[in-house]
Structure 1
């Protein structure tokens, strides 16, 4: 009992951040699940699929705006959190770098959706969906993660998302109201971003300062390997929705998105713990502690998968109002990938990066992306692109990633 109290005492901050992250992550995933059945019935599979397709594209735009700063920023803030001057420089640099990228992305994005005929039919869905990038531009999760005060970001984020859910039921009543959905999403992102920025400047007393060009260049260089790693990961994690929409149809996007939302629910323990322990690992570099957390998370995710496997048919009926065998099978298959993701999160971003091997982490992620693209290319050549083959590729690439990370960590002596 005394030993347990000592353990809890030493990791009090980690546990507090884990608690706030748990609340944030649970409701971040639950809120879309609450509106999913309603929107599916009101605006239909096809239009909902268009909205998901547009959001998936914008997620890639957000990756460019992020440029790895969410990880490098959190790491730098964690190291210099007691130095207010250095902290202000880090925050100013990160925000300015993101703003520059946001402006570039805005110009390119609007140009593309205005010129390419594919976007013509639902131009305003794609245009309004860009408002979601304010989430990436303004919301400083990296800052609160670094100073290990996730309380603020949890309250702000949940308030904005709760308003979105309520607004959906208040304003979306018929098929013609579909444009309100991306608009409300964007307004929520702007509100959350502005409120959290206010907390950073007033509550945490951070002063935005002018940053020399050479420091901005250094910041971009420092974050580049993390950006490439994130981009490579997101290509094989989220590109399936784009492929489904392009080759199979927007109704199929809605079905795949439902399975993906349940998968994200399974991944909750992974994202919560990786974010909660990242600052501690960055400072202490304790492999034994990291392994204990990793196996705990793997155990929890495996247990959740067992429940999902048994209840998948019931979950599909709950969200769609009818039994859909295809959706149930896809859900079970995607669930397998979550077990490997729970290993990969602690073998990659939470191990190689804090220990100073960002470049190696980048190479592993690039190789995973190339493996995925080659696999997708083969499916296209043999004309075998369907919901099942795309889902199996999502699982196989996580297995490949797991084996690659095990090998890299073994070579570096970071496994035990």
Structure 2
């Protein structure tokens, strides 16, 4: 008992952050699942697919705004959190860098959706969906992760998302109300961002200041490998819905999106634990600790997958009101990738980056992305694009990533 109390005492901050991240991640995933069946019945598979398609595009816009600052910012804040003056400069630099990128994205994004004919039919869906970028611009999860205090960001996020869910049921009653979905979703992101910024400036007493161009250039340079790594990862994670929407249809996007929502639920322990322990790994650089967390998570995710596999028919019926065979198969295939991701997360971003191998991590993710694009090209040339092959492609790419990460970590002695 003494040993257990001592272990808990040493990891008290990590456990607290895991708890808050658990709450945040659970509600982040559960709230969309609450509205999914309702929206599917009210606005239909096709319009819901358009909204998901637009949100997927915004995911890539948000990646540009992020530019790797969510990882580099968290790392720098974790290292310098005791120095208030330096901390303020880090926060100011990160926000200013993101604001510059956001301004560029505004011009480019609205130019594209105004010119390209593909976007004109649902122009306002794509326009209103851009409000979601305020989530990336204003919401400083990286700051609270770095100071290892996720309490406030969890409360703010939960309130904003809860208001969005309530608003969906209050204001959306027929198919013609579909534009309210991206509008309400975007307003939730704006409110959460503003409240979070108020906490950073007010309660945490961080002072924003003008940062010289030289420091901004240095910040971009530091985050660039992380940006390329994240972009490479997100290309093969999120581009699938764009491919399905372009080649199959928006109804198929909705079916695949359900599979992804269940996958995200299975990945929940991975994301919340990896974020919570990242500052500790960055400071202590303890390989034994990283390995222990990795295997514990992999075991938990495997148990979760077995449950999902057995209950997949009931899960699909719960959300769609029918036994949609395509959705059942997609859930079972995508679920396998969650087990592999639990290893990849702690062989990649939560090992190579805090140990000073960001450049190597970037090259591995680029290699992974190129492998994905090769498989996608083969499927396109062979005319084999369907929800099954796209789902299987996700698993194959994660296996490839696992093998490359394992080889590289053994080579540099981080296993």
Q: Same fold judged by TM-score > 0.5?
A: yes
> Could you tell me how far 1:325 is from its partner in structure 2?
1.0
TM-score, normalising length: structure 1: 1.00
Give the Cα–Cα distance (whole angstroms) in 2 for the partners of residues 134 and 117 of structure 1.
26
Within the alignment, does 1:36 sit opposite 2:32 as a pair?
no
Within the alignment, does 1:279 sit opposite 2:287 as a pair?
no
Within the alignment, does 1:261 sit opposite 2:261 as a pair?
yes
Render the CA deviation track for 1:1-46: whole Å, top value 9, x for unaligned.
1111111000000000000000000000000000000000000000
Match of 2:20 in 1: 20
Match of 2:395 in 1: 395
Segments of 4+ moved more than 4 angstroms: none
Give the Cα–Cα distance (whole angstroms) in 1 for the partners of residues 330 and 187 of structure 2.
33
Render the CA deviation track for 1:262-308: whole Å, top value 9, x for unaligned.
00000000001100000000000001011111111001000000000
Give the Cα–Cα distance (whole angstroms) in 2 for the partners of residues 287 and 3 of structure 1.
21
Within the alignment, does 1:293 sit opposite 2:293 as a pair?
yes
Length, aligned pairs only? 415
Within the alignment, does 1:168 sit opposite 2:168 as a pair?
yes
Match of 2:119 in 1: 119
> Could you tell me how far 1:185 is from its partner in structure 2?
0.6
Render the CA deviation track for 1:229-271: whole Å, top value 9, x for unaligned.
0000000011100000000000000000001000000000000
Give the Cα–Cα distance (whole angstroms) in 2 for the partners of residues 49 and 314 of structure 1.
22
Map 1:15-414 onto structure 2 (within 5 A).
Answer: 15-414=15-414
1:337 aligned counterpart, secondary structure: helix
Give the Cα–Cα distance (whole angstroms) in 1 for the partners of residues 188 and 166 of structure 2.
11
Give the Cα–Cα distance (whole angstroms) in 2 for the partners of residues 120 and 315 of structure 1.
35
Q: Cα RMSD between the aligned structures?
A: 0.4
Give the Cα–Cα distance (whole angstroms) in 1 for the partners of residues 412 and 273 of structure 2.
23
Render the CA deviation track for 1:339-366: whole Å, top value 9, x for unaligned.
0000000100000000000000000000
2:296 aligned counterpart, secondary structure: helix
> Could you tell me how far 1:58 is from its partner in structure 2?
0.3
Render the CA deviation track for 1:81-110: whole Å, top value 9, x for unaligned.
000000000000000000000000000000
